[in-house]
Amino acid sequence: MFDGFAPAELDATHPTPNFDRLKREGAWSRHLVPAFPALSLINHTTFATGCWPEHHGVVSNTFLDPKHGWFSHATDQDDAIWRTGCETMWEAAERQGIHAAVFNFVDRWRGKKQLASIVNPEVLWKDHEDDETILQRAFKALKDNSPNHPRLITLYFEYPDSVAHGNGVTGPKTQDAVRRADAIVGRLMAALKALPPSREGTLLVGTDHGMKDTTGFINVTRLMNMYDIKATAAVDGASAFLYLDKGESADRVQKALSAYPNAFTVYRTGHYPPFAHLGNSIRVGDLMLVGKPPYRMVDSSALPWYVGWTGGNWLWSPIVNTGPGVVPSTHGYDPAVVDMHGIFYLWGAGVRPGEIKRLDQVDVHPTVMKLLGLQPGRSMDGHAIAAVQ
């Protein structure tokens, strides 16, 4: 998986010989549709499990949980302890006697227990192993010809997302990140081609979400101050959950925040639109705000310090179209925003070449399991795509 890989990022970049080859020789789509909100952690978990968030329990990059407290993708390890249900593809494979290797992907550990036969250490993301280290781990696993060699190898790379946020969907540095991804794809293809005649392999390249350029932001902290909303907010990308204090009126807050229909929509828990698949657990709070392009959602922690000093959280408009806090691109919108869709490729053994018009993130897990000749994980919501023979 490459993080935040929108088709527009690939369209803007030349040359990309290895992605071009994947498209010529394999199955491909410009419409891998993410789970909502179109954020990283929720879609990493959906990709791995084939479950919607209402079933696996990871509802955003940041949320409150009554047992485990506050989760933040920015500071916490992505431990499987946060998952409340479903099996990852590597857990399902291991349960059926097939060994798996997982590098830098979420959900490879549950506490001190590793969930696949081969995993790299679980550390804070700032200390994660670099690309070359996990590639060499993957090549070692792929070259293992012993009877118990891993048949499923999963890798995660943090770009183009990590670059596009600060440089835009088609910026020169984002294009450099895409070329870097293309080089990795080429090395993986070559490694599969080098397998002995008795073995064959398939390469699946996917992403968690797309990316869209932005020109403004919605300051949730300012909104809460403006309307004296007694709540805790979990804000990321283009969405926010509000956990209301005891005694605060959900009706009052919804009415107050409904004054900005051009910038965002307010939903009560249990009254989400069909695309949400979030359920109604306590993790999603009492109200959900969903931003509309070209705005992202922020709270005071995401803004430069001087915004607070100059009254940004008390005096400015809550809807800001220029200035400090505006970033070139983001994600997290309703999946009907096509820019949230990501790339998808299948290449190698068992693949029927051609375009796939659309697939959902939940379809990746069952597709992988079908390629392996295994049953999908428990409580799975997706379907294997027709491109798998």
Same-domain pairing of 348 and 281:
no
pLDDT of residue 74: 62
Whether the upstream peptide bond of residue 304 has omega within 30° of 0, thus cis, is: no
pLDDT band at 171 (very low <50, low <70, confident <90, very high): very high
**pLDDT band for position 358 (cuts 50, 70, 90):** very high
Same-domain check for residues 252 and 359: no
Residue 378 forms part of a structural domain = no
Do 234 and 208 have their domain in common?
A: no
* Mean per-residue pLDDT of the chain: 94
Is residue 288 helix, strand or coil? strand
Q: Identify whether residues 96 and 192 lie together within a single domain.
A: yes
Among 272, 292, 326, residue at a domain's last position: 326
Q: Are residues 314 and 242 in the same domain?
A: yes
Whether residue 172 has a cis bond before it, omega within 30° of 0: no
Lowest mean pLDDT among 123-127, 241-245, 270-274: 123-127
What DSSP assignment string belongs to 202-256?
A: EEEE-BS---EE-SEEEEHHHHHHHTT--EEEEEETTEEEEEEPTT--HHHHHHH
Instruction: Please give the C-alpha separations between residue 194 and each of 139, 190, 198, 338, in angstroms, as whole numbers.
Output: 11, 6, 11, 37
Would residue 268 count as lying in a domain? yes
SS3 47: helix
- Do residues 208 and 80 share a domain? yes
pLDDT at 330 over 90: yes
Same domain, 205 and 352: yes
> What is the C-alpha separation between 317 and 179, in angstroms, rounded?
40
Q: What is the pLDDT of residue 311?
A: 84
> Do 52 and 144 belong together in one domain?
yes
| Interatomic CA distance for residues 75 and 126, integer angstroms | 9
317 and 350 share one domain: no
* C-alpha span between 310 and 362 (Å, rounded): 45
Q: Which domain holds residue 309?
A: 215-326
**Which tops the pLDDT comparison, 112 or 168?**
168
Q: Look at residue 144 and tell me whether its pLDDT is greater than 80.
A: yes
Which range is least confidently modeled, 121-135, 249-263, 282-296?
Answer: 121-135
Report the CATH number at residue 53. 3.40.720.10
Given 300, 326, 352, the domain boundary residue is: 326
On whether residue 76 sits in a domain, the answer given is yes
- Residue among 258, 344, 262, 380 at smallest CA distance from 31: 344
Considering the domain architecture, whether residues 37 and 24 belong to the same structural domain is answered as yes
Q: Examine residue 385 and state whether it is found in any structural domain, yes or no.
A: no
Angle at 170 between CA 40 and CA 211, to 5 degrees: 25
Residue 40 resides in a domain: yes
State the pLDDT at residue 235. 95
Residue 204 confidence (pLDDT): 98
Closest CA to 326 of 203, 166, 187: 166
Mark whether 175 and 312 lie in a shared domain: no
pLDDT tens-digit readout, 28-85:
999 999 999 999 999 999 999 999 999 999 999 999 987 788 887 666 556 788 899 9
Q: Is 377 a domain residue?
A: no
Clarify whether residues 107 and 6 are in a common domain.
Answer: yes
Q: What is the CATH number of the domain that holds 313?
A: 3.30.1360.180
The HSE-up count of residue 58 (CA atoms within 13 Å, CB side) is 29
Q: Is residue 190, in this structure, part of any structural domain at all?
A: yes
pLDDT in tens, 70-125: 887 666 556 788 899 999 999 999 999 999 999 999 999 998 899 999 999 988 87
Residue 190 zone, left/alpha/beta (φ > 0; ψ -120 to 50; rest): alpha
Residue 353 lies in a domain: yes
What pLDDT was estimated at residue 125? Answer: 77
CA distances 320 to 133, 226, 251, 263, 315, Å, are 42, 15, 26, 10, 12
Q: Tell me how many domains the chain contains.
A: 2
* CB distance 40 to 73 below 8 Å: yes
CA dihedral 100, 106, 107, 112 (to 10 degrees): 100
Please measure the distance between the N-terminal and C-terminal CA atoms of the chain and give it in whole angstroms: 22
Q: Which two tokens stand for residue 57?
A: 């329990």
